[in-house]
Amino acid sequence: MKICTLPLGPLNANCYVLIDETTGSAAIIDPGDFNERLKIAVESNDVKSVDYILLTHGHYDHIMGVKKTKDNFPQAKVAIHENDANCLLGDDLNRGFLHDFQLEPVEPDIILQDGMQLQLGNLKIDVIHTPGHTKGGVCFVCGNAIFSGDTVFYHTVGRTDFENGDYNELLLSIKKLLELKGDYTILPGHDRASTLEDERMNNPYLRECQ
Ligand SMILES: [Zn+2]
């Protein structure tokens, strides 16, 4: 398993390319933009097929590159939780800060639900519904990595003051992540990576939940 990190788009949302090196299957997580760097990250890693475009949630800074990514990799299935699926069609409630940007609408191919498992080559990706930042926020767990979107960041958590945010719901979602046994690398939607163990010890919001 190989993971490339590319901050993309107007708010530098972390886009991740997750690659199963045994088969060359890849997933692109949260393309906030599509540019040459993302193309090179795919091409330089012997990717044979991009199977998925996985979305942790529907905020514009995470989905603005979905249309172009899909145009470049038409076989990739676009997956988003049912509660945020309308964002891909340009629902205005999910712009966050980005009032001046236009979204090219895309129809989702897969509607995600809590507990679903996706197969990426020989890798398995588990979907955990983690609402709070948005109603359709999810975390993707693959091997020892959690792609946490805007649910958990390094020593903090996602904002809940946007439309569809709910702080109590976010804390319940964090409890779900805390139930995961052992340690994981946390790859968040913005800024630096962390580990679940570091967050258990040093994140005041996670400590509140234990
Ligand atoms: Zn967000």
pLDDT tens for residues 111-126? 999 999 999 999 999 9
CB-CB neighbours of 48 under 10 Å: 12
Rg (CA), the chain: 16
Distance 133 CA to ligand 1 centre (A): 7
165 pLDDT above the threshold of 80:
yes
pLDDT tens for residues 5-42? 999 998 999 999 999 999 999 999 999 999 999 999 99
Q: Which residue has the higher pLDDT, 153 or 97?
A: 153
Question: Mean pLDDT score of the chain, rounded to an integer?
Answer: 94
Distance 190 CA to ligand 1 centre (A): 9
pLDDT attached to residue 90: 78
Q: What mean pLDDT is predicted for residues 119-135?
A: 97
Band of pLDDT at residue 154, cut at 50, 70 and 90: very high
Distance 159 CA to ligand 1 centre (A): 8
Q: Is 2-209 a CATH 3.60.15.10 domain?
A: yes
Distance 180 CA to ligand 1 centre (A): 23
102 pLDDT above the threshold of 90:
no
Tokens of 100: 């001046």
Distance 150 CA to ligand 1 centre (A): 5
91 pLDDT above the threshold of 80:
no
171 pLDDT above the threshold of 90:
yes
Q: What mean pLDDT is predicted for residues 117-145?
A: 98
Distance 115 CA to ligand 1 centre (A): 21
For the whole model, what pTM was predicted?
0.96
CA distance 35 to 132: 30
CA distance 95 to 162: 9
User: What is the number of H-type helices and E-type strands within the chain?
Assistant: 6, 14
Distance 57 CA to ligand 1 centre (A): 7
Q: Which residue ranges make up each domain of the chain?
A: 2-209
Band of pLDDT at residue 96, cut at 50, 70 and 90: low
Closest of 31, 23, 28, 81 to residue 51, by C-alpha: 28
Distance 59 CA to ligand 1 centre (A): 5
pLDDT tens for residues 45-57? 999 999 999 999 9
